[in-house]
Amino acid sequence: MSTSGKDGYDCVIIGGGPAGATVGALLASRGHRTLILEREHFPRPHIGESLMPQTYSTFKRLGMLDKIRASDFPRKESVQFVSAGGKDSQPYYFTDRDPGEWSTTWQVPRDRFDQMMLDNARDHGAEVRYGVRVEKVIFEADCAKGVTVLDGAATCDIHASVVVDASGTAALLSRQLGIREPEPRLQNGAIYAYYKGARRDSGRNAGATIIIHTQDRKGWFWFIPLPDDTTSVGLVAPPADLFSGRGNDPLVTLETEIAKCPGMKRRLAQARRVGQAYVTSDFSYRATRTAGHGWVLVGDAFSFLDPVYSSGVFLALKSGEFAADAIHDALVAGDMSGKRLGAFERKLTSGMHLMRQLVYAFYDTSFSFGRFAREYPQYQDHIVRLLIGDVFNDEVGEVFGVMGDWVDLPPP
């Protein structure tokens, strides 16, 4: 099906990460002329390796399940929190509430996973061009008409009925439109590196994501098991604590903090680092709208929420899925208004707000999930459902009515 002008596309997508690949696969499989423009050459490294179980239904719709099942990606069945003193808490096992395969998920090396997702989009009929950087979105009278790209040394314009920004934290369009707003209370940064030979737990805990508080509880470590005995280790904290002092060497900061953290130190005692340390900063933020006339934002290009619950790829997939359905309806109706293209906005932002509230609870140094669970055991299931990613229903949000008495929660 093509509803575009004679030499344009129905949809052009900026960025071939998980969000862009999801929109691309779902639109192309419904017959729309779809082009994905990716500035890098894949495979390329990317942070964000731990998935949430509720990615399952999107993988199923994308035809990705068999491809991931056939991989060597470790199965993730739980999340475990470890105190600053090194005390392990009881893991949150996703399968305890529902034993199906959909209650487990995977830890994914992003270079390979993102390549699989983009190959899948191409297999569904999307055209994918690598090494092409989008410079800007073209507007005529407030309506997006296409993009200007830099391909090698040449620039050219590509026209489309709908422009999707899936450019990740580059957030090309929300910056161009000046609608990107930081989330002041969640301005963290991260230093991360990869290790071989880390001490893993066994059995159903072998693939768990482990979150370990730093001593001052202002920051935390992630420990994510990947294939080939590689473990992703990262430190998240306010940028002032990460990037000042210690000669401004991120690797020295990371390894000094590991040495001070009993829960991390014992896991890495026999491990050796492979490769350099990486840094990233300036999260979190969101755009004030998901869509306008002829354009839609998905994934990190719309909003980035602190990574403590590993919600990024899940939200990239879900927003990509919601957006693809709205774009399909808009193309069929020939109505590219912001109202129609952003028909999913309330559902997406309500779900993200539940996740945001749980993030605020994590960073409240006076709040304890353990104490809360002992006082309100009836809400334990709500917490597990949030950790799974079951956020697109109102019922699970009931927990925040009570948690609001313990934590200063953010407004919607």
Ligand X SMILES: Cc1cc2nc3c(=O)[nH]c(=O)nc-3n(C[C@H](O)[C@H](O)[C@H](O)COP(=O)(O)OP(=O)(O)OC[C@H]3O[C@@H](n4cnc5c(N)ncnc54)[C@H](O)[C@@H]3O)c2cc1C
Residues that bind ligand X (CB under 6 A): 14-20, 37-40, 46-51, 133-134, 166-168, 170, 172, 190, 234, 280, 283, 299-301, 307, 310, 312-314, 316
Residues making up the chain, counted from first to last: 412
Angle, helices 110-123 vs 18-28, to 10°: value is 20
201 or 368: CB nearest ligand X: 201
Provide the 8-state DSSP code for 338.
H
Quote the least distance from Cβ 108 to ligand X, whole Å.
9
Quote the least distance from Cβ 339 to ligand X, whole Å.
23
CA proximity to 352, closest of 401, 403, 298, 296: 298
19 or 388: CB nearest ligand X: 19
Q: Quick check: 275 and 226 in contact, CB under 8 A?
A: no
The 3-state DSSP class for residue 282 equals: strand
Q: How far apart are CA 36 and CA 166, in angstroms?
A: 9
Q: How far apart are CA 389 and CA 170, in angstroms?
A: 25
Quote the least distance from Cβ 268 to ligand X, whole Å.
18
H helices, E strands: number in the chain: 14, 20
Q: Output phi, psi for 110, to 5 deg.
A: -70, -25
223 or 400: CB nearest ligand X: 223
147 or 330: CB nearest ligand X: 147
Q: How far apart are CA 68 and CA 349, in angstroms?
A: 28
The kind and range of the H/E element at 123 are helix 110-123
The 3-state DSSP class for residue 215 equals: coil
Q: Quick check: 20 and 14 in contact, CB under 8 A?
A: yes
9 or 283: CB nearest ligand X: 283
Quote the least distance from Cβ 36 to ligand X, whole Å.
9
175 or 373: CB nearest ligand X: 175
Which tokens hold the place of 23? 């929109």
132 or 403: CB nearest ligand X: 132
130 or 376: CB nearest ligand X: 130
Quote the least distance from Cβ 17 to ligand X, whole Å.
2
254 or 403: CB nearest ligand X: 254
283 or 360: CB nearest ligand X: 283
Q: How far apart are CA 65 and CA 77, in angstroms?
A: 16
Quote the least distance from Cβ 48 to ligand X, whole Å.
2
Quote the least distance from Cβ 16 to ligand X, whole Å.
5
CA proximity to 242, closest of 250, 233, 234: 250
Q: Output phi, psi for 11, to 5 deg.
A: -145, 130
Quote the least distance from Cβ 46 to ligand X, whole Å.
5
- Residues 6+ away with beta carbon under 8 Å from 235: 190, 191, 192, 214, 219, 220, 221, 242, 253, 254, 257, 258
Q: Quick check: 145 and 159 in contact, CB under 8 A?
A: yes
User: Is the four-CA dihedral 189, 105, 321, 68 of positive or negative sign?
Assistant: positive
Quote the least distance from Cβ 372 to ligand X, whole Å.
24
Quote the least distance from Cβ 240 to ligand X, whole Å.
17
- Residues 6+ away with beta carbon under 8 Å from 408: 360, 364
Q: List the beta bridge partners of residue 181.
A: 286
